[in-house]
């Protein structure tokens, strides 16, 4: 039986970043010499009970490309994967919604929201960046040597490439950290760009998109680790 990983997102052939994600899945399969089935499942039809219990998907990749058609389904899927210890990886919009889910269901911020979707929301965990990162790149420093990010990369710095205009609202960072979210990388101007939840097999979010730095000859190591954790490859 072929192992399967669900890609939660609304695929749009006009988005180069989503094509890059697809390319990265081929890079990793070749690298691991293992066939893995990656399926895009649209946010307006995603049902975690069906996906993980009946169809036996092994991991959840929350794709870039927000605003999603159904934000509620995205939050519910992330909650399910977090509670049930399913390896979960989110980039750009995926990062943003993983933060919102954690804020809602772990930190108790019931009205946690996204400025792009609800600009008048009382608790905007995700806000518009002062400077857009669409098409930009940054040199990032890994700030926790015990983090999965550091263990995978074995270095203190990495290049992050982006296609986004929204990021983390810094005022909520103390509460998120208090409840178990660890922020693992920081930009030169002092903004957090990735997180993980330590008491989980793999619950990692990056505002940058690792697929944009993945090539066939050298697949992105973070993507490799997510897939290894999902399908049980050592």
pTM for the structure as a whole? 0.97
> Strands across the sheet with 36-41, in order?
36-41, 3-8, 59-62, 88-91, 203-206, 192-197, 181-187, 137-142, 157-161
> Does the structure show a pLDDT above 90 at 19?
yes
pLDDT at 181: 98
Q: Where are the beta strands (DSSP E) in 34-177?
A: 36-41, 59-62, 88-91, 112-114, 123-128, 137-142, 157-161, 166-168
pLDDT at 1: 86
Cα separation, 205 vs 6, whole angstroms: 16
| Across 179-190, average pLDDT | 97
What is the total residue count of the chain?
234
Q: How confident is the model at residue 225 (pLDDT cuts 50, 70, 90)?
A: very high
> Does the structure show a pLDDT above 90 at 234?
no
> Does the structure show a pLDDT above 80 at 54?
yes
pLDDT tens digits, residue range 144-166? 999 999 999 999 999 999 999 99
Looking at domain 3-231, its CATH class is alpha beta
- DSSP structure class, residue 218: B
Cα separation, 113 vs 193, whole angstroms: 18
Q: To 10 degrees, what angle do helices 93-105 and 71-83 make?
A: 70
| Pairing assessment for the beta strands 3-8 and 36-41 based on DSSP bridges | parallel
Q: Which of 74, 58, 65, 77 is nearest to 21 (CA)?
A: 65
| Across 198-209, average pLDDT | 96
| Across 73-88, average pLDDT | 98
Q: How many angstroms separate the Cα of 119 from the Cα of each of 173, 211, 213?
A: 20, 29, 32
| Across 123-129, average pLDDT | 98
Three-state secondary structure call for residue 75: helix
pLDDT tens digits, residue range 95-122? 999 999 999 999 999 999 999 999 999 9
| Across 48-58, average pLDDT | 98
Question: What percent of the chain has pLDDT above 90?
Answer: 97
Q: Where are the beta strands (DSSP E) in 95-218?
A: 112-114, 123-128, 137-142, 157-161, 166-168, 181-187, 192-197, 203-206
Three-state secondary structure call for residue 24: helix
């Amino acid at each position: 039986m072929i192992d399967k990983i669900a890609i939660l997102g609304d695929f749009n052939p006009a988005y180069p970043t989503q094509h890059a994600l697809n390319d990265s899945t081929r890079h990793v399969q070749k690298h691991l010499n293992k066939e893995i089935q990656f399926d895009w499942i649209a946010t307006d039809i995603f049902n975690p009970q069906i996906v993980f219990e009946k169809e036996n998907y092994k991991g959840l990749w929350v794709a870039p490309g927000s605003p999603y058609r159904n934000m509620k389904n995205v939050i519910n899927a992330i909650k399910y994967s977090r509670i049930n210890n399913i390896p979960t990886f989110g980039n750009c919009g995926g990062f943003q919604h993983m933060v919102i889910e954690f804020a809602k269901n772990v930190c108790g911020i019931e009205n946690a929201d996204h400025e792009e979707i609800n600009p008048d929301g009382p608790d905007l965990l995700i806000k518009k960046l002062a400077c857009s990162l669409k098409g930009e790149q940054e040199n990032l420093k890994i700030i926790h040597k015990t983090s999965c990010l550091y263990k995978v990369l074995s270095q203190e710095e990495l290049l992050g490439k982006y296609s986004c205009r929204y990021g983390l609202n810094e005022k909520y960072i103390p509460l998120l950290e208090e409840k178990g979210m660890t922020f693992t990388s920081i930009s030169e101007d002092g903004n957090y760009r990735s997180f993980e939840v330590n008491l989980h097999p793999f619950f990692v979010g990056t505002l940058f998109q690792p697929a944009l730095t993945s090539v066939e000859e050298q697949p992105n190591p973070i993507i490799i680790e997510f897939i290894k954790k999902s399908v049980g490859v050592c």
